[in-house]
Amino acid sequence: MFARFLLCGLFLIAVDAADEINIPLAISPIIKDLIPKSTIDELNKLTADQHALLQSAFKKHGSNATALATDLRRNNPELAIKIHELMTEFESRVQKLPAEGKSFVTKVIEILQNIVNEKDLQKASSEIVQQWQTLMKSTKSTIEQQFPTVPKVLDSDKFKKFATEKHR
């Protein structure tokens, strides 16, 4: 499970690092809302060289989280440690969720990993809203404690409208 979180964190960094990487996760509010603000803040502090290294590792290794992590450790051990610490924080928040909440987070990450265009993003958004609506109220409350903006996004009329619109 940790590899998935590391991979999503690397997606986020790689996407934020350069506009030429065409990964729609950059426009998905869910992935950013699922990652703790403190983690996002730390990722935003990375230097241009660190962003370039992450971008390069991502391009070389794609969805192979093990190869990505190995590449980072070899090329910039300090950055690898920092990324590991950030992803550990994320994982610790997920571990505080009940089983249903952990399952929801895992499903969201799996869904987001399959996005290649806006139509896929819209379909993914619809799937995520459906998953969210099936959760028990207590699970939603616990998710809100760990990831405060997730419920705001998933319950927003704007997001629901996007998720249910016909793709042009």
Residue 98: predicted pLDDT: 97
Residue 138: predicted pLDDT: 97
DSSP letter, residue 165 = S
Residue for token pair 């996005």 = 115
Rounded to 5 degrees, φ, ψ at 167 are -75, 130
CA–CA dist 41, 33 (Å, integer): 12
**pTM of the predicted model over 0.75:** no
CA–CA dist 11, 17 (Å, integer): 10
Domains detected in the chain: 2-164 (1.20.120.1100)
Q: Which two tokens stand for residue 73?
A: 């450790």
Q: How many CA atoms lie within 13 A of 7 on its CB side?
A: 18
Residue for token pair 């403190």 = 38
Helix (H) or strand (E) holding 15: helix 2-17
Largest CA distance in the chain: 46
Residue type, 20: E
Q: Tell me the mean pLDDT per 10 residues along the chain, length 168.
A: 47 41 44 63 77 78 73 87 79 92 88 73 87 96 88 83 72
